[in-house]
Amino acid sequence: MEYIHNRGFTLIELMIVVAVIGILAAIAYPSYEEQVRKSRRADATGALLGLAGALERRYTSTGSYAGAGAGGGNTGAPTIFSTTSPVDGGTAAYNLTINTSNASTFTIHAAPTGPQAGDKCGTLTLTQDGTRNVTGQSAGITANDCWN
CB 47 within 8 A of CB 125: no
Query: Residues 26-42: pLDDT tens digits?
Result: 999 999 999 999 999 99
Q: In terms of Cα–Cα distance, which of 134, 133, 125, 95 is closest to 113?
A: 95
pLDDT under 50: residue ranges of the chain: none
Q: Residue 100: its pLDDT value, please? A: 86
Does some domain include residue 6? no
Query: Residues 2-29: pLDDT tens digits?
Result: 777 777 778 898 999 999 999 999 999 9
Domain that holds residue 139: 11-147
Give the DSSP letter string of 113-146: -GGGTT-TT-EEEEETT--EEEESPPTT--HHHH
Q: Residue 1: its pLDDT value, please? A: 65
- Rounded (5°) CA angle 100-65-92: 65
| pTM above threshold 0.85 | no
Q: Residue 89: its pLDDT value, please? A: 85
Q: How many domains does the chain have?
A: 1
Does some domain include residue 63? yes
Helices (H), 4-148: 11-62, 143-147
CB 126 within 8 A of CB 135: no
Does some domain include residue 91? yes
